[in-house]
Chains A and B, each alone.
Chain A
Amino acid sequence: RKEVEQDPGPFNVPEGATVAFNCTYSNSASQSFFWYRQDCRKEPKLLMSVYSSGNEDGRFTAQLNRASQYISLLIRDSKLSDSATYLCVVASPGYSSASKIIFGSGTRLSIRP
């Protein structure tokens, strides 16, 4: 079983729709959680951190469920520019107190006009 798993998609939704992605992780000691966005042939860019209480940034809402070991990303009123791959990232305690950072394989989102 992969340490971080995501539905690869693709999710193909119309502009204005609400779309949600989930990501599950296997290490219960995981400490920090993030969503990154990656455009085609570009580097990943931090979209938002995920806090225990849940957090919102404009049209984006991230939530963490430690009991079930998953995080989610909700995008409301989707725009054409939201088309990208969304990567789930989990940081767990690593060797020599460094953090072990694991990326999911990503969920592809395509917004159609």
Chain B
Amino acid sequence: DTGVSQNPRHKITKRGQNVTFRCDPISEHNRLYWYRQTLGQGPEFLTYFQNEAQLEKSRLLSDRFSAERPKGSFSTLEIQRTEQGDSAMYLCASSWDRMASYEQYFGPGTRLTVT
């Protein structure tokens, strides 16, 4: 399967713990996005990478959130000191910038539950 993959698919953690999610984009895609989605809402943009450079961060991304894409391939999203309000589906998407296309391909998401 050459689609976007995310691990883990589900994560249950206690409030105050740190969690890290991984996203492996489609191999030839140089753009990678992180989104958060809660029930009944569309995905909310968190951050965006072009290759290894983090070019944009949403104001939703508090200082407890950090994302990296060290070699321009896979990316990690870490949430420190989790809060119950962090419970959501975290989606990763990738695309390529040839022909200025912004069509994105999503991974299956990581569902985070903070107890």
Q: Which residues of A contact B (CB under 8 A)?
A: 4, 8, 32, 34, 42-46, 49, 87, 91, 94-96, 98-106
The reply to whether B43 and A103 contact each other, CB–CB distance below 8 Å, is: yes
State A84–B42 Cα separation when bound (angstroms): 13
For residue A34, which residue of chain B has the nearest CB?
B103
For residue A96, which residue of chain B has the nearest CB?
B55
The reply to whether B56 and A94 contact each other, CB–CB distance below 8 Å, is: yes
State A95–B58 Cα separation when bound (angstroms): 11
Q: Which residues of B contact A (CB under 8 A)?
A: 33, 35, 40-45, 48, 50, 55-56, 91, 102-109
Instruction: Say whether, besides A95-B56, A96-B56, A101-B102, A44 and B50 are in contact (CB < 8 Å).
Output: no
Q: Give the chain A neighbours of B35 by CB distance below 8 A.
A: 103
Minimum C-beta distance from A51 to chain B (A): 12
State A24–B56 Cα separation when bound (angstroms): 24
State A34–B106 Cα separation when bound (angstroms): 14
The reply to whether A103 and B103 contact each other, CB–CB distance below 8 Å, is: no
Q: Give the chain A neighbours of B105 by CB distance below 8 A.
A: 46
Instruction: Say whether, besides A42-B108, A43-B106, A49-B103, A101 and B55 are in contact (CB < 8 Å).
Output: no
Minimum C-beta distance from A1 to chain B (A): 16
Other-chain residue from B40, B43, B48, B106 in contact with A98 (beta carbon distance below 8 A): B48
